Amino acid sequence: MHGSVSGRIVETEAYLGLEDRAAHAFRGVTPRTRVIFGKPGHAYIYLIYGMYDCLNIVAEPEGSAGCVLIRALEPVSGIARMRSRRPAARRDEDLANGPGKLTLAMGITRRHNGADVTSGILTVHAPVSEEPFEIGVSPRIGITHCADWPLRFFVRENRFVSRSS
């Protein structure tokens, strides 16, 4: 795709519903969490720490809560544009190796909240190479509740993840 900013997702975290104290949806439907309880395949985007937007994909049927936080991306196309949005990044692997950096590099903001992800704002890539890879599992990063739940998933040995274990 010419001119598009795209990449391979290499790190995610799952956030569940009413049983997951770390999830925004834990407290039920509010103006903010409305999207999480909506249709799957839509983007839930929120502001974190007053500074960064984080991208999630709603993953449960309408009426129940659950989403996947997209934490890191291996850039595939539009790398020059990502660099222009994140001039401080010195290496390609620093462009989108964290949820806040990722949205910055891709130009995704809360303006996309609720958007249908299957209709073009994201391009999902198959693995970049034919090399086999393994999926690592670990606790989620930066949370206080349910801190030991193994709900972070990442491509092992991949240098674009935010941390390797």
Enumerate binding residues for DNA (CB under 7 A).
13, 15, 22-25, 27, 30-33, 36, 44, 46-52, 54, 56, 67, 69, 86, 88-89, 98-102, 140-144, 162
**How far apart are CB 26 and DNA at their closest, in Å?**
8
**How far apart are CB 30 and DNA at their closest, in Å?**
3
- The C-alpha atoms of residue 96 and residue 71 are separated, in whole angstroms, by 8
**How far apart are CB 130 and DNA at their closest, in Å?**
29
**How far apart are CB 131 and DNA at their closest, in Å?**
26
Closer of 2 and 91 to DNA (Cβ): 91
Closer of 2 and 90 to DNA (Cβ): 90
Closer of 52 and 153 to DNA (Cβ): 52
Q: What's the chain's Rg over C-alpha atoms?
A: 15
Closer of 3 and 31 to DNA (Cβ): 31
| Tokens representing residue 55 in the block | 């991208």
C-alpha distances in angstroms, 50 versus 82, 87, 150? Answer: 22, 21, 27
- Residue 150 contacts residue 139 (beta carbons within 8 Å): yes
- The C-alpha atoms of residue 60 and residue 88 are separated, in whole angstroms, by 36
- Residue 86 contacts residue 101 (beta carbons within 8 Å): yes
